[in-house]
Amino acid sequence: MRITRMALAAGVTALSGAATAQEDLSGEVTIWSWNVAASALEAVVPGFNEEYPDVTVTVQDLGNGQVFDRMLAGCAAGGSGLPDIVTVENHESEIFWAQFPDCFTDLAALGYDDETANEFPDFKRTELEVDGTRYAMPWDSGPVAMFYRRDYYEAAGVDPESIETWDDFIEAGRAVQEANEGVIMAQADLNGDTEWFRMIANEQGCGYFSDDAQEITVAQPGCVAALDAMKAIYDADLMTAANWDEKIQANNAGTVATQMYGGWYEGSIRTNVPEDQSGEWGVYRMPGVEADGARAANLGGSALAISETSEDKEAAFAFVDYALGTAEGQVTMLREYGLVPSLLSAEDDPYVQEPLAFWGDEPVWEVILATLPDIAPSRGTSFFGDADQIVQQAQTQYLNGGFGTAQEALDYAANQIELVTGLPVAQ
């Protein structure tokens, strides 16, 4: 399939011609990315060069903030200074498509066809395909999972498979904390993020904005249920505030029993905690609001886009297509750096079914990736940053008793978002 797409992009119609195009394709491709994502892209270059030996790929690790700022500046300057390929986070992507619709190449023109696009779940494509233009190809995703300490749960007699609802989680949390002195059941960045709220809201099919990005939906029932669930956990003294670094420190020190995050957090735990914790961690599916209800959500994830000013678009697309459009490329990044594939066919790779020693010989990727088809799409829109700040303030006030109910808190947030964005509040 990949050869066929590249043959189309190169104007070659015969299969033999496609093979020739593959061998003859050359160019120099530069990519902007950050941190572990940059390392993951570098990890797939050797496999890519086996198929395209004359394409040179250079990955520049600029840091997340620098990539965002330099993309904005480059697009504002008509594409000047942009590399061939850029990494963009899904929830921020519509900021670029809305402000600079001509800054990036429509990947459909390079061979990103319907068949390939349908190999990715809808929730990953929602923000990347706008008004018929395919601005970027999905990369990693963040299917939510509960990362937990097996030994702490076992000491409390808690079977994680019995935790089906958030009420179950609260009951289990009380037992875990009673059985393990000095251990907190969970942590959330309550002072600097809305991560827990967004995960549970997404589970309930609710987000800041409607799927068509025309209405504010943060005060709808699914979001209210999410904030209520958070409040119940918080009021039960089972959750403390902790930012990213503080969570890593708690993991290392063994003072937290559960971290809820996107699947990419697997690598953050495995590569940071002391060796003696190997085998003591496990994974289970996030609880739901109701028994037999939804239990899947997404947090985080990125995509790759090609700048319109790239002088090697075909070579750039060949790399994007290999890295993201093949199980080989995506599973390489999963295996080496824990980046969770969006490509549905990657679920069938043997590595996904492998039991991993660190995780108590549990096939954690089988557990995590199995939730991908159940995740509801959620639009970030170009207003995500403004909306998120408002929701964070309302969340903090509600948890500290500033609003009588979750509905009141989110009605307030919705009205404030309306003032900033001009969009109507959904009724």
Q: Are residues 306 and 274 in the same domain?
A: no
Q: Are residues 170 and 270 in the same domain?
A: yes
Is the pLDDT higher at 166 or at 192? 166
Query: Per mean pLDDT, which range of 1-5, 168-172, 344-348 is the poorest?
Result: 1-5
Q: Are residues 111 and 91 in the same domain?
A: yes
Q: Are residues 291 and 403 in the same domain?
A: yes
Q: Which pLDDT score is estimated for 15?
A: 31
SS3 of 353, please? Answer: helix
Contact 330, 105 (CB under 8 A): no
> What is the tally of structural domains in the chain?
2
Phi-psi region of 132 (alpha: psi -120 to 50; beta: other; left: phi over 0): left
Q: Which pLDDT score is estimated for 23?
A: 59
The DSSP annotation for 223-285 comes to HHHHHHHHHHHHHTT-EEE--HHHHHHHHHHT-EEEEEEETTHHHHHHTTS-GGGTTSEEEEE
Q: Shortest CA distance to 96 belongs to which of 127, 59, 60?
A: 127
pLDDT at 17 over 80: no
Q: What is the pLDDT of residues 235-251, one digit of tens each?
A: 999 999 999 999 999 99
Q: Are residues 293 and 323 in the same domain?
A: no
pLDDT at 312 over 60: yes
Q: Which pLDDT score is estimated for 381?
A: 82
Q: Is residue 366 part of a domain?
A: no
Q: Are residues 236 and 191 in the same domain?
A: yes
Q: Which pLDDT score is estimated for 382?
A: 83
Q: Is residue 54 part of a domain?
A: yes
pLDDT band at 217 (very low <50, low <70, confident <90, very high): very high
CATH for 123: 3.40.190.10
pLDDT at 260 over 50: yes
Q: Which pLDDT score is estimated for 13?
A: 34
Q: Are residues 211 and 169 in the same domain?
A: yes
Q: Are residues 13 and 103 in the same domain?
A: yes
Q: Which pLDDT score is estimated for 238?
A: 98
Q: Which pLDDT score is estimated for 365?
A: 92
Q: Are residues 116 and 46 in the same domain?
A: yes
Q: Are residues 262 and 315 in the same domain?
A: no
Q: Is residue 363 part of a domain?
A: no
pLDDT band at 19 (very low <50, low <70, confident <90, very high): very low
pLDDT at 92 over 70: yes
Contact 92, 380 (CB under 8 A): yes
Q: Is residue 310 part of a domain?
A: yes
Parallel, antiparallel or unpaired: strands 184-188 and 256-262: parallel
User: Which domain covers residue 170, as residue numbers?
Assistant: 145-297+373-421
Q: Shortest CA distance to 399 belongs to which of 413, 390, 389, 409?
A: 409
Q: Which pLDDT score is estimated for 162?
A: 97
Helix, strand, coil content of the chain in percent (nearest 5): 50, 20, 30
Geometric angle at alpha carbon 235, from 230 and 240, rounded to 5°: 75
286: Cβ contacts below 8 Å, ≥ 6 apart: 144, 145, 146, 199, 200, 203, 260, 295, 296, 297
Average pLDDT value over all residues in the chain: 92
Q: Are residues 50 and 118 in the same domain?
A: yes
Q: Are residues 48 and 160 in the same domain?
A: no
Q: For a pLDDT cut of 90, what percent of the chain falls above it?
A: 78
Q: Which pLDDT score is estimated for 46?
A: 97
Amino acid at 315: A
Measured in degrees and rounded to the nearest 5, phi and psi for residue 356 equal: -110, 125
pLDDT at 137 over 60: yes
Q: Is residue 368 part of a domain?
A: no
> Measured between alpha carbons, how far is 413 from 389 in angstroms, rounded to an integer?
10
Average pLDDT over every residue of 400-407: 97
* List of E strands, 52-198: 55-61, 85-89, 129-130, 133-134, 136-149, 184-188
